[in-house]
Amino acid sequence: QQQRPRAEDYCFYGVEGNAAFTRKLRGLELLLMKRNAAAAASSATTTARPLRHVHFFTETVVASKNGMTTFHLDSASSEGVGSSLLDSHMYAGGELRDVNGVTLTWLLEHTVLQNDVGKPGHL
């Protein structure tokens, strides 16, 4: 019988274009990886790692091509939660920022298809 996947079997990758979230996401990433390190170092088998790996690509958006792209910051919310790549977006009247655009192919190549040491990933 096949063993059920556990939380520590999963990797999590996030993409966020708005720089307002960079510090919070970096802090969360560090916190989760510290918990992973502590759980891995523990001799207790009951200590579960929260995730196998976590990484946020900040000031980065998924786009149709790789390279810098214009990001429209939400002008209606102080948190910028309605920001968009689309200039026709209803909240796109705010500030424009250049962010790194990556394709889904690039994202898969740099996450799922390879691990931290450049070897094939774990599909």
For residue 74, give Cα distances in angstroms to 15, 56, 85, 86, 101.
Answer: 17, 21, 10, 11, 18
pLDDT of residue 122: 43
Mean pLDDT of successive 10-residue segments in the chain (123 residues)? 77 90 93 78 62 88 95 76 77 81 92 61 42
pLDDT of residue 79: 67
With vertex at residue 119, the alpha carbon angle to CA 62 and CA 29, rounded to the nearest 5 degrees, is 50
Other beta carbons within 10 angstroms of residue 69's beta carbon come to 18
For the entire predicted model, the pTM comes to 0.75
